Amino acid sequence: MATIAKRPYRGVFPVAPTIFDASGNLDLDGQRRCVDFMIDAGSQGICTLANFSEQFVLADAERESVMHAVLEHVAGRIPVIVTTTHFSSAVCAARSREAEAAGAAMVMIMPPYHGATFRVGEPAIYEFYRVVSDAIRIPIMIQDAPVAGTPLSVDFLARMAKELANVRYFKIEVPMAANKLRGLIEKGGSVIEGPWDGEEAITLMADLDAGATGAMTGGGYPDGIRQIMDPFLAGRRDEAVQAYARWLPLINYENRQCGLSACKVLMREGGVIKSDAVRHPLQPLHPATRAGLIEIARTLDPVVLRWGR
């Protein structure tokens, strides 16, 4: 399945939430509407089965259902990144092969970890990514995030990019992300095909100044993130700074108050989906927090609040 966009992938690639009905079951019709909204709102690609997709509450069969529903419905309109993270090298490689066969443009993978204490050292992490890289032909995005509890040095990331054929993209979400992006670009050079920002774009301006070429944010307002990314990548930094200042209160509210619920709440408020349910033991937003999110969003008139009306 060919995608319209060509490598290197750049721009706004938000995480698509997994849509549940009010009883907590998969809502694949809602999933398709979610995808259509995200494309209409300017997403240049999307990522599915990420942490902000609640991948950790899905059974394996549900993961497959969501992945195939998203890829089949997108049908090559934009590139789709599928998260295939697993502690097992073999399972991660198998998930990645399945994603490639289904039409994924890229896979995103965290280093192997389990719980608070199960980790492996750099030699085993290197072999983990080598096994996956050897199993597929599409690029791998390494997700460097605190949740894994696994330090990944700039030198180590650059070495993997130079030595492993498909390790080419890096989503940097650790503290001082801009410094790490800058160092990675300096150490890795041309093999760093995609130095990307994450963490709901809370550090986006600093990361763009450091050389980031992509942003993987929440899925609620890709049109707003485009207002920052597009002018910056076109060389109009002043315009990007002004847009960042406009959207930062909403970005901050999502990042610090709401987390993965934010995009679902906005999608439900705008008629994109019928239910903003998260799967237990996750809890819905407090009504006051929900109201605060919507109040800030309304001042910005994002597409999400009028797409389904």
Per the annotation, binding residues for pyruvate are: 216
Rounded distance, CA 239 to CA 144, Å? 29
* Residue at token pair 């999400």: 304
By the 10 Å C-beta count (0-12 exposed, 13-18 middle, 19+ buried), 5 is classed as middle
Based on C-alpha coordinates, what's the Rg of the chain? 18
Active site residue 187: no
177 neighbors 206 (Cβ within 8 angstroms): yes
Are the beta carbons of 98 and 63 closer than 8 angstroms? no
Supply angle C-alpha 224, 228, 232, rounded to 5: 155
Rounded-to-integer distance, Cα 15 and Cα 57, Å:
16
Task: Give the strand order in the sheet containing 11-12.
Answer: 11-12, 214-215, 194-197, 167-172, 140-144, 106-109, 80-83, 46-48
Check 171, 180, 187, 264 and give the catalytic one.
171
How far is the CA of 79 from the CAs of 50, 106, 119, in angstroms? 15, 8, 31
Binding residues: 216
In the chain, which residue ranges form alpha helices assigned H by DSSP? Answer: 28-40, 60-74, 89-102, 122-135, 154-163, 177-188, 204-209, 222-233, 237-253, 261-269, 287-298
The answer to whether 134 touches 126, Cβ cutoff 8 Å, is: no
Three-state SS at 174: coil
> Which of the residues are catalytic?
171
